[in-house]
Amino acid sequence: MPPPEGTIARPQDSGCHGGRETMREAARAAGKSAVLERLAADYPQGPHDQPQSMCPAFGSLRVGLRMRRVATILSGSACCVYGLTFTSHFYGARRSVGYVPFDSETLVTGQLFEDIRDAVRRTAQPDAYDAVVVINLCVPTASGVPLDLLPREIDGVRVIGIDVPGFGVPTHAEAKDVLAGAMLRYARREAEAGAVARPRAGLAEERRITLLGELFPADPPGVAAMLAPMGLGVGPAVPAREWRDLYGALDCVAAAAVHPFYTASAREFEAAGRTLIGSAPVGEEATADWLDAVGRVAGIEAARIDRAKAAAIAPVRAALAANPVSARMIVSGYEGSELLVARLLIEAGAEIPYVGTALPATPWSEADRAWLAQQGTHVQFRASLEQDCAALRDVRPDLAFGTTPLVQAAKEAGVPAVYFTNIVSSRPIFGASGAAALAAIVAAQTRGRERFGRMIGFFAGDAAQAEEVC
């Protein structure tokens, strides 16, 4: 059965190069107003066009590709699909990505929807998959391709269709939440309807806290050790690695939004009656505040909370003392942990006048923003490259943690800089190990400032001229 008449927009109204507003208007005309309104509410845009980030759909694609027994099918322009699959495999994907191509005729007549449905039916093999994810990219979204009309399940295989247009989702980090939230909603409704499969690790004896965010692998065990004196544990994280882990994630005392932009996921935890906790156990002050918050939500007696704080904070304090940071820095990125990293570095002794993040302000980042403001740090949500570069010029830091273009600009100006995603996010930040790891990065990189100056002088002849590049 073809989709209802009037739901498919003409391709000339919604082509890739039509511009963001043109695409939005086409999507509204094609019946996607509710989708756009939800995306705008969950992921509010900043005053500028779009923050620094790769194609947003990469975030949703990444979440699906990292899950066991989950197939992903893309519906979009061939150039976009090529770029997304290339990036995914560059980041270590070890499975194929499905693709449903289209042309003007199949888009206008609704045949594209039929082709997607056929692809889902062929893919939904219960011996191979628990779920099939279909992702509409820009043109199918703007053209109104109605993924909500796909069957909810085929032979026990769940079918999840989402729209992740670049003109509706600002960053790939938030696109992780689009799929994670959709999966949590499906899993929550399954759990409410009856018995579900237990997590592969089995049922935990202790009550658990679920961590929201893609974390360094050593961080969840470190958090679990901090919670153990209160009789609490850490459940499966979201985004999950397996469908059944979603049930385990929902079976928690509270969810900790350690990456504070998972708005859709947070909504599902709240619908399940779970409390959301902001900030994270980084450094001394945030660790104490976070453990206090977790203990209150879990109904733990004050003496037991104090014992947990004492056990967690002592090694953090020792690590900060053993790994002092003496550097003037700026921090910017699109991972969602930028404020936490800045808090930890400041406690270690760094001076950080500016923190930029491509993500929006949320209730779960407010405590970190307020703490940084008290230290004299300006936090720029939805930071643009221009704002980051202005901070680079004004602050004249010893070291910059930043996005790829900011790192490039900093190095051209003779300022040591490292890519936040590949270097900072690939280290622990919680507990004592986080304090030691970040300090080591700063120490190693700031030693290279003189070398950068020599390079600038060699290639440009005048290092001062390079200061104007950003």
Written as one string, the DSSP assignment of 38-74 is HHHHHS---SSS--S-S-THHHHHHHHHTSTTEEEEE
Mean local confidence (pLDDT), 402-413: 92
Percent of the chain surpassing pLDDT 90: 79
Residue 424 DSSP code: I
Indicate the angle between helix axes 285-298 and 302-322, nearest 10 degrees. Answer: 160
Taking only the tens place, the pLDDT of each residue in 305-331 is 999 999 999 999 999 999 999 999 999
Give residues with Cβ within 8 angstroms of 162, minimum separation 6.
Answer: 60, 133, 134, 135, 136, 147, 178, 179, 182
Domains of the chain: 20-169 (3.40.50.1980), 208-318 (3.40.50.1980), 323-458 (3.40.50.1980)
For residue 360, cis peptide bond before it (omega within 30 degrees of 0): no
Q: Residue 44 and residue 359: Cα distance in Å, rounded? A: 9
Mean local confidence (pLDDT), 109-124: 97
Amino acid at 282: V
Taking only the tens place, the pLDDT of each residue in 228-278 is 999 999 999 999 999 999 999 999 999 999 999 999 999 999 999 999 999
Mean local confidence (pLDDT), 58-85: 94
Mean pLDDT of the chain: 90
Mean local confidence (pLDDT), 373-379: 98
CA distances from 315 to 57, 175, 346, 430 (A): 40, 36, 17, 11
- Between 271 and 50, residue with greater pLDDT: 271
Report the alpha-carbon angle 435-174-70, nearest 5.
100
Taking only the tens place, the pLDDT of each residue in 415-459 is 999 999 889 998 999 999 999 999 999 998 887 666 666 666 655
Q: Residue 157 and residue 130: Cα distance in Å, rounded? A: 5
Asked if 367 contacts 374 with a C-beta cutoff of 8 angstroms, the reply is: no
pLDDT at residue 11, as a whole number:
42
